């Protein structure tokens, strides 16, 4: 079952995903700074934001892979098998 956040991400355009990713990354760095200087009321928020960043980056990468041609995907597969 897809989560609410995932369904929201799939409905966003690539430009919206990239802008949201950048905003979230800057917000995360501000949160880290605030946490190191004076502490946060809810330090668990750092983990939540970090996971949101991972969700966004994963969706962007999934769309990049979907947009690849068959040749690019085949080349990618060879690279992945060499790593194993």
**CATH assignment of the domain containing 72:** 1.10.287
Per-residue pLDDT of 65-81, as tens digits, reads 999 888 888 887 777 77
Q: Is the pLDDT of residue 1 over 60?
A: no
pTM, entire model: 0.82
Q: Give the angle 24-30-36 at the CA atoms, nearest 5°.
A: 135
Given a contact cutoff of 8 angstroms between Cβ atoms, the answer to whether 46 and 40 are in contact is yes
User: Distance (Å, rounded) from C-alpha 60 to C-alpha 29?
Assistant: 20
Per-residue pLDDT of 24-54, as tens digits, reads 999 999 999 999 999 889 999 999 999 999 9
Q: What is the pLDDT of residue 37?
A: 94
Closest by alpha carbon to 49, among 31, 34, 33? Answer: 31
Range of the domain at 63: 4-83
- Number of domains forming the structure of the chain: 1
What stretches of 1-84 show up as alpha helix (H) in DSSP? 4-11, 14-37, 44-67, 70-83
């Amino acid at each position: 079952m897809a989560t609410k956040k995932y369904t929201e991400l799939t409905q966003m355009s690539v430009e919206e995903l990239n802008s949201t990713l950048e905003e979230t990354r800057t917000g995360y760095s501000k949160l880290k700074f605030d946490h190191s200087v004076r502490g946060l009321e809810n330090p668990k928020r750092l983990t939540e934001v970090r996971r949101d960043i991972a969700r966004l980056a994963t969706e962007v990468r999934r769309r990049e892979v979907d947009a690849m041609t068959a040749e690019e995907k085949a080349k990618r597969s060879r690279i992945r098998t060499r790593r194993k």
